Amino acid sequence: MEEKITKTIVQGYFKKLIDNLHVDVAIAGAGPSGLVAAYDLAKAGKKVAIFERKLAPGGGTWGGGMLFNEVVVMEDSLDILRDLSISYKDAGDGYVSIDSVEFASGLTFKAVQAGAVIFNSVSVTDIVFRQNTVSGVVILWTTVERLGMHVDPLVITAKAVLDGTGHPSEIVNLAVKKAGIRIDTETGDIMGEKPMWVESGEASTVENTKRLCPGLYASGMAANNVSGGFRMGPIFGGMLMSGRKIAKIILKDLQ
């Protein structure tokens, strides 16, 4: 029995890994925007792999606001919640409230059920940059990254790479700083997130969601950081709509 269990885990994991060495879309970060994008892309028949640094996917959703585990969404993104079968309570004035544990687990479950594969505890540490196009991600176990061990990474090639890493926009940062890519922002560089202004941040998260250079896209707070949007705190409709918007853009580009 001991051998059977171990063999089943090892075979199952390595089958998943080998099946995903080349994907249509590689997503860095399993936050709300990355998970919605993964769900839509997988549902549309694309091969999608998400690489998430932490053990638990869900990004900044679990803790609600200041560890009070409720999140707020405006009614303009209710269609996405319904689509994902995530329940919500009317909070009046056009807002709804969601149990953040249901939110995080629902987004994760739906993305995986749609066919996206999540590799958790795996960090994206670099990009593949070929012929002026972002063509994949370089991955490493988070434990190896955190311990600073001198171990070479592995590579996943992809037709499109989505930066869903949240506030630090780590993948776009690599593209700009390491590959010297001029990205599609006012300055051609990362403009940096502005302080809290909820209405503006919610709107600009969706506006700033776009392709930044051949092969590279950003969603959620990564998109906002890159294009200099305001932050918005524990309201998540913009993240959901950003994920949906970037999935549409990527699908169009892959056609």
> Pick from 23, 38, 49, 60: which binds ligand 48F (CB under 6 A)?
60
| Only segment of 2-10, 30-38, 182-190, 208-216 that touches ligand 48F (CB under 6 A) | 30-38
**Positive or negative torsion for Cα 189, 192, 198, 200:** negative
Q: Collect all residues with Cβ–Cβ distance below 8 Å to 206 and sequence separation of at least 6.
A: 238, 241, 242, 245
> How near is the Cβ of 105 to ligand 48F at its closest, in Å?
14
> How near is the Cβ of 87 to ligand 48F at its closest, in Å?
19
How far apart, in whole angstroms, are the C-alpha atoms of residue 241 and residue 253? 19
How far apart, in whole angstroms, are the C-alpha atoms of residue 154 and residue 167? 25
Asked whether position 225 contacts ligand 48F by CB under 6 A, the answer is no
Nearer to ligand 48F, 10 or 56 (CB): 56
Nearer to ligand 48F, 10 or 21 (CB): 21
> Pick from 24, 47, 48, 59: which binds ligand 48F (CB under 6 A)?
59
> Pick from 164, 215, 229, 237: which binds ligand 48F (CB under 6 A)?
164
Site string for ligand 48F, 107-146 (x = CB under 6 A): ----------------xx----------------------
Asked whether position 248 contacts ligand 48F by CB under 6 A, the answer is no
| Only segment of 15-23, 93-101, 152-160, 226-234 that touches ligand 48F (CB under 6 A) | 226-234
> Pick from 41, 118, 232, 250: which binds ligand 48F (CB under 6 A)?
232
Count CB-CB contacts under 10 A for residue 80: 22
Q: Collect all residues with Cβ–Cβ distance below 8 Å to 21 and sequence separation of at least 6.
A: 156, 157
Contact 167, 201 (CB under 8 A): no
| Only segment of 32-40, 80-88, 99-107, 113-121 that touches ligand 48F (CB under 6 A) | 32-40
Site string for ligand 48F, 168-207 (x = CB under 6 A): --x-------------------------------------
Asked whether position 80 contacts ligand 48F by CB under 6 A, the answer is no
Asked whether position 220 contacts ligand 48F by CB under 6 A, the answer is yes
Residue ranges binding ligand 48F (CB under 6 A): 28-34, 51-54, 59-61, 123-124, 164-166, 170, 220-222, 231-236, 239
